[in-house]
Chain A
Amino acid sequence: MTRLQLEDLQLARGGQTVLEHLNGRFMDGAITALIGANGAGKSTLIQAMMGMLRPVAGKVHCEVPKERRAWLPQQLALDLTFPMSVEELIMTGSWPSHGAFTGYCAAHYRRGRDIMARLGISHLAHRPLGELSGGQRQRALLGRTLMQEAKLLLLDEPFANVDAETVDVLMNVLREMADNGATLIVVLHDMEQLSRLADDVLILSGGHGRWASPEALLERYAGQPPKAPRLPLTFPDTFHAGTA
């Protein structure tokens, strides 16, 4: 089953074609890694999938309603000086069900607390956003998408500048979301992370897209034996999580 499909897609930015003849389908419940050099069009493609950029030609077929699509860009538009706590941020994720006017109900607050517990940030519930570390912030933002019950989740380098423990937590939650049927697309630069997370890979280069399996990719580029896409998520303490 697929709710997201690209059909001979051509995208441009400022009059310059960035991507063309892009085809493919993103399976429900799968995590697709989106890889490519800087400027290859990853963010452009994500914007088109969010419905924020009109294609020059071709189509993005997306059956996920707008309010169930979530995008966590790398350059956050988030104003961190705004006086808001982690819990309040997560509660804003209930917008699809509550809109601008309805008050939050007890059940939603409970859900918010469950989500924070799952992400290991219960103790930060009342902490202002500006006082969070990069990893804590990323957990809180993922919490908002859980609250949103996002069915399509687009993440731009979610593990950049994030500590190893947070990477594990985030990966677990992302896999859980996929198992519950959500479609996930994650921009990655790190082969190790790709091998742990991706079920499928879309490579953008030279204005075109190519699909590959993570195994094939790893074999070719890393020269390592192919790894199963669903690895046990335990690593030695010395494991280096940075993308640098």
Chain B
Amino acid sequence: MLALLDAWLLAPFEYGFMRRAVVAGLALSLAAPPLGVFLMLRGMSLIGDAMAHAILPGVALGFLMAGFSLPMMSLGGVLSGLLIAVLAGSVSQMTGHREDSAMASFFLISLAAGVMLVSLGGSSVDLTHVLFGSILAVNGTALILIAGIASLIVVALAVIFRALVVECLDPLFLRGQGVHGSLVHGVFLGLVVLNLTAGFQTLGTLMAVGLMMLPATTARFWSQRLEGLIGIAVVLAMIASTGGLLLSYHFSLPSGPAIILLAGLAYVLSALFGRHHSLTARLRRRAAPLAATDSP
């Protein structure tokens, strides 16, 4: 039995690439889910997707200029992500267009531009790599970059935490206190972009969003408190990224999709059996007597 567990859970990590991959996954699992929780609570769950497309042209440009260099591609990604976010924000302010439709327009443009750029300069293999990542190819430099960005996000989130909470809850109150909500919002969106650039190497630009949003939306079925949501989402992301890696190792599956599908499985199960808002919770609630809901 022990030998089986060892063969399944520990032996794969005797390889350097698996060790680096799991550390990268755990680092991302610390940084991404809290951002996802706030995106979800702000009703911006799809913004992550939009931003993921927005970093693509920058990643592609970095790739064209410096080849497969993670620092250059990340830098390009951050810059184009921030640029698109600012552009979408200012277009909606200047034209009275709703921000989500401006965002949608810009991310479609950037997706096309990104794919065009990669195709011009590279092969379809490169394109697949940028779009879907490859956690098993994380080298030492990439790992340091990913861990560095993840740490930065965790620290920055801790610094703006209270402002972010108050801004989500009651923007008017924050404004009354002389704090510009748009500043908090901007810093937060910046962190989202940073996180996606850290994630694209391992999961690809498109699936990096998965590790951010899926654990957060899953946690909603298990907790009604902010700390609970964040804690549960982080643990879920860690389980999904480690479990997904092991699955991909043992069954020769692509690592990114394996991780996200595992997180997706958790979501589906939670939607069915979670404590709050889930299907079974609704059925239970319907049957519960009145007095039970009144207890403090």
Q: Which residues of A contact B (CB under 8 A)?
A: 50, 52, 66-67, 69-71, 73, 76-79, 81-85, 89, 92, 95-96, 100-101, 123-124, 126-128, 144
Contact = CB atoms under 8 A, between A and B. Distances in A.
Given A77-B170, A78-B170, A123-B296, A70 B176 contact: yes
Given A96-B177, A123-B296, A83 B171 contact: no
Given A100-B163, A123-B296, A77 B178 contact: no
B145 to A, nearest CB: 28
A95 B166 contact: yes
A73 B173 CA distance: 10
A7 B296 CA distance: 50
Contact of B176 (A69, A100, A101): A69
Nearest to A95: B177
21 contacts: A52-B175, A66-B176, A77-B170, A77-B173, A78-B169, A79-B41, A79-B169, A82-B165, A82-B168, A83-B41, A83-B223, A83-B228, A83-B229, A84-B169, A85-B225, A92-B166, A92-B169, A100-B159, A124-B296, A128-B224, A144-B173
A66 B169 contact: no
Interface residues of B, number: 25
A183 B134 CA distance: 62
Contacts of B279: none
Interface in B158-195: 159-160, 162-163, 165-166, 168-173, 175-179
B178 A84 contact: no
Nearest to B158: A101
Contacts of A92: 162, 165-166, 169-170, 173
A243 to B, nearest CB: 22
A147 to B, nearest CB: 11
Interface of B: 41, 159-160, 162-163, 165-166, 168-173, 175-179, 223-226, 228-229, 296
Given A100-B160, A127-B296, A79 B176 contact: no
A154 B169 CA distance: 19
B166 A73 contact: no
B169 A100 contact: no
A69 B173 CA distance: 10
Given A78-B170, A92-B169, A100-B163, A67 B41 contact: no
Q: Would you call the interface of chain B mostly helix, strand, loop, or mixed?
A: helix
Contacts of B176: 50, 52, 66-67, 69-71
Given A123-B296, A127-B296, A84 B177 contact: no
B177 A83 contact: no
Contact of B178 (A67, A85, A127): A67
Given A83-B226, A85-B225, 14 more contacts: A70-B176, A71-B172, A71-B176, A73-B172, A78-B169, A78-B170, A82-B168, A83-B41, A83-B228, A83-B229, A100-B160, A123-B296, A124-B296, A126-B296
A186 B43 CA distance: 33
B165 A77 contact: no
A79 B165 CA distance: 11
A222 B159 CA distance: 55
Nearest to A65: B178
Nearest to B162: A100
A101 B162 contact: yes
B177 A66 contact: yes
A77 B173 CA distance: 9
A127 to B, nearest CB: 7
Contacts of A144: 173
A82 B166 contact: no
Contacts of A67: 176-178
Contacts of A96: 177
B225 A77 contact: no
B185 to A, nearest CB: 14
A95 B167 CA distance: 12
Contacts of B226: 82-84
Residue of B162, B165, B171, B224 ringed by the most chain A CB atoms within 10 A? B162
